Structure 1
Amino acid sequence: MEMARTVQQLFNLEGKTALVTGGSRGLGLQMAHALGEAGARIVLSSRKAQDLEQAAAELEAAGIAADWIAADCADEQDIHRLAAEALGRLGHVDILVNNAGASWGAPAEDHPTAAWDKVMNLNVRGYFLLSQAIAKHSMIARRSGTIINIASIAGLGGNPGAMKTIAYNTSKGAVINFTRALAGEWGEYGIRVNAICPGFFKTKMATVLIETLGEDKMAAHAPLRRLGDDEDLKGITLLYASDAGKHITGQWMAVDGGVSALVGG
C-alpha cells in the first residue's frame, strides 16, 4: 500500500508552472509569491511591461523563477497571444490564476453602458476566454490542471448605499457561478476550478475607498478588526493550487476577516 504523502509533500509545487494575470502588483503578485515560494515556475501578465519587469525582478530576488508577458485580458486576440506565448515559454500550464480585473463606481441609474461592458468584459469574459485557451492547449490533453478565479465578497451580495459598484458586484457574482459550472464540466479531465473571494485588502484598487472612509472605519466592519495584508491570500492560493486540495473543486472561499459571515455583512 502506498504511503500517504506528508503535508510538506502535498503543498510542494516543484516542477509545476503557473500563469498569473494581473500579476504585477497587489493580490496577483502576492499569489505569485505563494506559488513560487512553493516551487512553481511563474509567468506574470498585466498590461504594463514596466510594472511586470519590476514584479518579475522582485520574484527573482526571492529565488523564484519568473517571466512576464504584457497583455490585455479584455482583448480576445491578446488573450490568445498570451496563452500561446505562456505555453511556448513554459511548455504547459499547470496552474492558471485569473486575477486581472476592473471596477467602476457609479449610481445604478446613471451607470454608463460602456463602463458596464468594460467591467464585464475583463472580469468575466476574459476569465472564460483564457481558461478556455489554456485548457484546450494544455490541461485537457494532460488531464490535469487547476484554475483559480479571483472573485470578491462583492459577488456574495449587495453593498452599503455609499458603495455604488453594481457592475463589479454583478461580475464577481458571475465569476462564482462560472467557477461552479466550469468545475462541473471539466472535472472529468482532472481540472479543478475554485474561486477566492477577497474582502478589503490594502491594495491600489482599494486606495481611494480607504482614503475616503478611513482604514480604521473599514477594519471595524470585520470581526477580526483588520484589513487583508500581503500574506493573507497565500494559504488559500497554495491549498487550491497544490495536491493538498486535490479533492476540492467548484468551491469559493471568502478571505475577508469574517465580514461575509455577518448577517447583512
Structure 2
Amino acid sequence: MSALFDLTGRTALITGSTRGLGFSYAQGLAEAGAAVILNGTNPARLEEAIGQLSASGYNASGFVFDVADEASVEAMFATLDSQGVQVDIVINNAGIQHRQPMLELPLADWQRVLDVNLTSAFIVGRAAARRMVARGSGGKIINIGSLTSEAARATVAPYTAAKGGVKMLTKAMAAEWAEYGIQCNAIGPGYIHTEMNAALVNNPDFDRWVKASNPTRRWGKPDELIGTAVYLSSQASNYVSGQIIYVDGGWLATL
C-alpha cells in the first residue's frame, strides 16, 4: 500500500516554499522520496531552506524568481529544460495577504494580491503543463486555496476573490488537461498556526473566535497538511481531478 504514496524518482516544484506551509509541503514531499525545487524572493532565506532539507539528506535545490512575472517563470523553466530536469509535480503555494476594508482599498493592492495568489498559479501551472503534455507522461498540479475559496470574511476581499478564483482555476485546469494524464487539484487549508498568521494567533479576540468556530477547538498545524499534499502528488490520486480538499478541522462543516 505504501508504494501508492512513494514519490521516489519524481521532481516537485513548490512555490513560496522557504518557510511556513510551503516549506512543510516541500519537506513532506522530500520525505516521500521526491526531489524538491524550492522558490522564494529572498536569496538568503532560500539558501537557508535548501540547507535545512539537504542537511536531512533530501535532494533539494531552488530558484529565486517572482511567481507573478511571466518572463521570470519561463526563464526558470528554461533553465530546468537546459539541465534536463523534468518537473512532475507543482504545488502553487506562493501567496500574500492584505487586510483593508474594500471602501478604502487601492486598486494597486487589489491587483497585487490577485497577481501573487491567483495569476501566478496560472503562469506556473501553464508552464509546467506545457512540458507535461509534450512529454506525454502526465503530472500533478496542486493549487493552494483557502477557507476563503468557499466563504468570505470582512477586510480580505482581494484574498477572498483570489482564492475563490484558485478553486475555479483548478477545475478549469482539470477540464483541459485531464486527458493528458495531468491531475489538477487544490488544498484548502483552514486556520493554521504559521508565521504568516502570527498576528492573528496573538490577537486574543481572533484566537478565541477561531477556537470557538472550529469543532477541533484549536488552530491547525503545518504538518497536518502534508498527508493531503503527498496524496495529491502520488499515484494514489490518479483518478482524482478538479477537486479542492479542505483541511480545516471541520470548520466548513459547521454553522
Q: Give TM-score, length-normalised by structure 1.
A: 0.92
- Aligned residue for 2:219, secondary structure, equals coil
CA displacement, residues 95-130 of structure 1 (integer Å, 9 cap, x when unaligned): 001000111111011111000000111111111011
After superposition, the Cα gap between the structure-2 partners of 1:257 and 1:134, relative to the gap in structure 1 and judged at 3 Å, is: same
Residue equivalent to 1:27: 21
Show structure 2 runs of 5+ residues with no match. Answer: none
CA displacement, residues 118-172 of structure 1 (integer Å, 9 cap, x when unaligned): 011111111101111111124442331000000101110111xxx4100000100
After superposition, the Cα gap between the structure-2 partners of 1:42 and 1:12, relative to the gap in structure 1 and judged at 3 Å, is: same
The answer to whether structure 1 residue 171 and structure 2 residue 162 are counterparts is yes
Residue equivalent to 2:217: 225
Let me know the Cα RMSD of the aligned residues.
1.4
Offset of 1:214 from its aligned partner? 5.2
Offset of 1:236 from its aligned partner? 0.3
The answer to whether structure 1 residue 199 and structure 2 residue 199 are counterparts is no
Residue equivalent to 1:94: 88
Task: Report how many aligned residue pairs link the two structures.
Answer: 254
The answer to whether structure 1 residue 234 and structure 2 residue 231 are counterparts is no
Distance between the aligned counterparts of 2:26 and 2:213, measured in 1?
A: 28
AA aligned to 1:115 is D
The answer to whether structure 1 residue 137 and structure 2 residue 131 are counterparts is yes
Distance between the aligned counterparts of 1:104 and 1:90, measured in 2?
A: 38
Distance between the aligned counterparts of 1:88 and 1:239, measured in 2?
A: 30
Check whether the contact 1:17–1:90 (CA below 8 A) recurs between aligned residues: no
Residue equivalent to 1:257: 249
Check whether the contact 2:132–2:182 (CA below 8 A) recurs between aligned residues: no
Distance between the aligned counterparts of 1:28 and 1:115, measured in 2?
A: 23
Residue equivalent to 2:201: 210
The answer to whether structure 1 residue 120 and structure 2 residue 114 are counterparts is yes
Residue equivalent to 1:4: none
Check whether the contact 1:94–1:139 (CA below 8 A) recurs between aligned residues: no
After superposition, the Cα gap between the structure-2 partners of 1:214 and 1:120, relative to the gap in structure 1 and judged at 3 Å, is: closer
Q: Which of the residues 16, 29, 38 maps onto 1:44?
A: 38
Show structure 1 runs of 5+ residues with no match. Answer: 1-6
After superposition, the Cα gap between the structure-2 partners of 1:106 and 1:227, relative to the gap in structure 1 and judged at 3 Å, is: same
The answer to whether structure 1 residue 8 and structure 2 residue 2 are counterparts is yes
Offset of 1:219 from its aligned partner? 2.4
Q: Give TM-score, length-normalised by structure 2.
A: 0.95
Q: What percent identity do the matched residue pairs reach?
A: 36
- Aligned residue for 2:242, secondary structure, equals coil
Offset of 1:87 from its aligned partner? 3.9
Distance between the aligned counterparts of 2:84 and 2:133, measured in 1?
A: 13
